[in-house]
Amino acid sequence: MAAEQDSGNPEAPRIEFPCSYPIKVIGKATAGYEQEVIAVVEKHAGKIAADLIQIHPSKQRNYLSINVTIMATGEEQLRGLFLDLKSIESVKMVL
């Protein structure tokens, strides 16, 4: 019975690094919002090619969704990136 409990690990599956990792940042469409988000992402992941960045305005254009795919190198990198993104005043959600 103990062997069954060991094999049934309830933790979320681990990510194997390095890997391609999509990040979605949603926030108020303020002046400089897009540049600030990209600068924070590049601080943690290096220069991001333009084709790995997608920007979608909301219907009323009050919010922007910025999708960026990075090459993730580890959990520490992702933790720091998410913390820095969440510290941007205009950011409402980071997924």
Give strand pairing partners of 24.
67
Task: Give the DSSP per-residue string, 6-69.
Answer: HHS--SPPPPPSSEEEEEEEEEE--TTHHHHHHHHHHHHH----GGGEEEEE-TTSSEEEEEEE
How far apart (Å, rounded) are the C-alpha atoms in residues 62 and 73? 33
pLDDT along the chain (95 residues), means of 10: 49 84 98 97 97 97 98 96 97 97
- Please give the pLDDT value at position 8: 55
- Please give the pLDDT value at position 9: 54
Q: Where are the domains of the chain?
A: 27-94
Give strand pairing partners of 22.
69
Phi/psi of residue 71, each to 5°?
Answer: -95, 100
The reported pTM is: 0.84
Residue 30, token pair as written in the block: 């303020």
- Please give the pLDDT value at position 6: 47
- Please give the pLDDT value at position 2: 43
- Please give the pLDDT value at position 10: 62
- Please give the pLDDT value at position 14: 81
